[in-house]
Amino acid sequence: MSSTEQKRTILVTGANRGIGFLIVKKLAKESPPNSTIILLGSRDLKRGEDALIQLGSPSNVHVLQLDTSSRES
């Protein structure tokens, strides 16, 4: 990737389980790590970190503590 290209950032909410987790899993498998950043959104930080471990801690997936029902989040 050249220095002028930007990485794509994808935020998946509710990603510590269920459909959100499966979406992150598929994105992590199919997206090139050097061109995509995947944010695993989870209300509970520990559960988000556990989900990241279940995924094998890919270098392009990062946990983001996020509660979409709260403006402070």
Is 73 inside a domain boundary?
Answer: no
Query: How far apart are alpha carbons 28 and 22 in whole angstroms?
Result: 10
User: Domain of 29?
Assistant: 8-65
Q: Is residue 72 situated within a structural domain?
A: no
For residue 33, the model assigns a pLDDT of: 82
Q: Is-above-0.75 flag for pTM?
A: yes
Residue 1 belongs to some domain of the structure? no
Helix (H) and strand (E) counts in the chain: 2, 3
Domain assignment present for 50? yes
Report if residue 71 sits inside a domain: no
Does residue 3 form part of some domain?
no
- From first to last of the 73 residues of the chain, give the pLDDT tens digit: 555 678 899 999 999 999 999 999 999 999 988 999 999 999 999 999 999 999 999 999 999 999 888 888 7
Asked whether residue 70 is assigned to any structural domain, the reply reads no
Tell me how many domains the chain contains.
Answer: 1
